Structure 1
Amino acid sequence: MASCSGSAPGAERKPLSIDESSLAQAQAPVSQRSGPEISRVPYPVAGNGDASQNWGDLYLPAGVHKADSVPLVVLIHGGAWHRSIGAGDFSYFAQDLVGRGVAVYNIEYRRVGSGGGWPTTFTDVASALGHIPDIVDQTPELSGKTEVVGHSAGAQLATWAGSQTAHPEHQLGKYPSFKPDRIVALSGPLDMTNATNLSDLDMVNAVGGTPLTAASRYEDVDPIQNIDPSIPVVAVHGTADTTVSWQNSQRYIQALLQAGGNGRLDLLYGDTHGSLITSGTVHYQYVMETITDSLLE
């Protein structure tokens, strides 16, 4: 009877060398699932946290995945830094992203009206990003290639907190030891002083003052005042946005380029503040592709 193994009967199989064994392990799948897997992952904060808000939902994509093969999108929801909107309102966006083959960590944080505001909202998000290396270490299929994406207030938080490794410690405490490969800011108030001067009272409530009465706070968390030229940033903004003017993103990208950084401004004609993250609208798939294409190259 012929051998099914393809070896002559009685022949001894040559053991794998160390190098071959390591290669075989790296090529073997570490996960196989028929649909996306979602798990709630808490992140630690300094001082007293809130277990009901200091967490992120980790979405892992369906299919077969080898070790170190899946990139991660860290998603930060908007909502004017106010408790009325939370991470659950961005779950559809996370589901659409994970359906494109990336992992997603959709984070929650304390907001104005739910224990947030200054400085908690900002330190929570910094802590959530600081926890990303641990999540990558504990999830074998994650490659470590990471992008931080935020919408509206979340874009401010993403662009600020994602750019902190190059800056010294200040009144908000230690910055996260985490550096994303890229930041994507959607409809973001990336020049907070300019946005506040255009009557953004939500921002005044979140920071606890105006640029005149709380100048040092704006210096600490305003993205345009905390640029890291080594991190590429794509700012996406609708030309019909009446909540946050597209010129706000333009000002940030111009400042990033002047600092020697890599920045790009994508203006989406006719889009409002929320339409570019609304499924079925003209540019929704373009936004999805902007977020995922460079990660999946």
Structure 2
Amino acid sequence: MARRGRARRISRPLAAGTGALILVATLTACVTGSPEPRTVTHPDSPAHLAEVTVQRIEYPTSHEAPDPAQNWADLYLPAGEHRDHSVPLAVIIHGGVAQDGQGADSFDSLARALTVRGMAVYNIEYRRLGTGGGWPTTYNDIADALDHVVEVNEKFPAIATDDEVVVGHSTGAQFAAWGGTRHTLNHNEVGAFPAFRPTRIVSIAGTLDSVFSARAGDDRVLNAIGGTPLQVPARYATVDPAQNVDPGTPVVAIHGTADTVVPPENSRRYVEAALKADGKAELTLLEGEDHASIVSVDSPAYPKVVDAIVNASVAELDKVVETVNP
């Protein structure tokens, strides 16, 4: 399938001759709903937040009416003084595609761990199987949530959105990797014409080779895409990371050696495919970690996962994969 080499990045430089910065005055921890944030302008002074703050933001959907109970993202901002475009952004996409799976709330601890390290976090929820999701709704929701980062940046200018990382766990990692290649899609494919393009991806226990996962009987992949590779090959051609490697978007894959839900072979196959396509990818294996423990705060490997995300975010683009196994 022919692909378009089309890239759209967002970056909003400071206006020349102005020192105006924005202080978000109304954020409170664990806010529910989506109140419009009030802002106060303080020329010549940075924004200051006394503590980590969380704002729930409902994002608009482009293909059908949104569900406020599911179409939202929590924005975490770190404490401290922040000038415009000074706080790196991490987007988190959970992998609980089934109704009874893990949701965005289950990654609150990871989001807070990253804010302690000085990052802003945009933690996405979306419609899942059994609650209105499935093909193509779930993919459209994720595309809409990612594209809404542009609007979020307008309201919270301290966030740096010109060089950002998207993190996904399990099927969420497949969504994250797909989000990093949407700029290559044809005009009639789901998720084409992105307003927001990440520059680097971190996959945690990810289904990065969707065809391999489907053939192994992974119901999450089969149900999210809506069929087998033989039944809906065009869908797999659109969203399977192993078939859509972008050489300009490095991917860091992290996997536990004891993962029997999504075996580490999945990440290994993706990295091999990426390298064959002149992409930048690296795999790190965490001994003894399984599908759940790898993102558990109680795991001894958890700090390594947090470090990998932070390091991938701050590294020069051509050095991202070198931060995994230095």
Q: Is the 8 A contact 1:238 1:269 kept in 2?
A: yes
Residue 237 of structure 2 is matched in structure 1 by 219
Residue 296 (structure 1) shift:
4.1
Give the equivalent residue in structure 2 for 1:134.
151
Identity of aligned residues (%): 44
Quote the offset at 1:199 in angstroms. Answer: 1.4
Query: Is residue 2:111 matched to residue 1:94?
Result: yes
| Alpha-carbon distance in structure 1 between the residues aligned to 2:124 and 2:248 | 24
> Offset of 1:74 from its aligned partner?
0.4
Q: Contact 1:147 / 1:184 at 8 angstroms: preserved in 2? A: yes
Select 2:76's aligned residue among 59, 65, 71: 59
2:98 — aligned with what? 82
* Unpaired runs of at least 5, structure 2: 1-14, 23-42, 316-326
Amino acid at match of 2:192: K
Give the secondary structure class of the aligned counterpart of 2:222.
Answer: helix
Shift of 1:137: 2.8
Contact 1:29 1:67 in 2 (8 A): no
The one-letter code matched in structure 1 to 2:281 is: G
Deviates more, 1:52-61 or 1:201-210: 201-210
Q: Does 1:209 align with 2:227?
A: yes
1:40 aligns with 2:63: no
The amino acid of 1:36's aligned partner reads V
For the Cα contact (< 8 Å) 2:176–2:201, is it kept in 1? Answer: yes
Q: Which runs of 4+ in 1 moved over 6 A?
A: 23-27
Letter in 2 for 1:277: V
CA distance in 2, matches of 1:153, 1:43: 21
Number of positions where the alignment pairs a residue of Structure 1 with one of Structure 2 = 278
TM-score, with structure 1 as normaliser: 0.88
Aligned to 1:250, the other structure's residue is in SS state helix
Normalised by the length of structure 2, the TM-score is 0.80
- Corresponding residue SS for 2:266: helix
Query: Could you say if the C-alpha distance between residues 142 and 215 of structure 1 is closer, same or farther in structure 2, counting changes exceeding 3 Å?
Result: same
Q: Is the 8 A contact 1:156 1:222 kept in 2?
A: yes
Cα deviation code 1:137-166 (max 9, x no counterpart): 321211223110000011111111222112
C-alpha deviations, 1:161-219, integer Å up to 9, x for none?
Answer: 22211222234253423221210000001111111111112222222211111222211
Q: Distance in 1 between matches of 2:197 and 2:21?
A: 28
Greater C-alpha radius of gyration? 1
- Cα pair 1:190 1:248 within 8 Å, conserved: yes
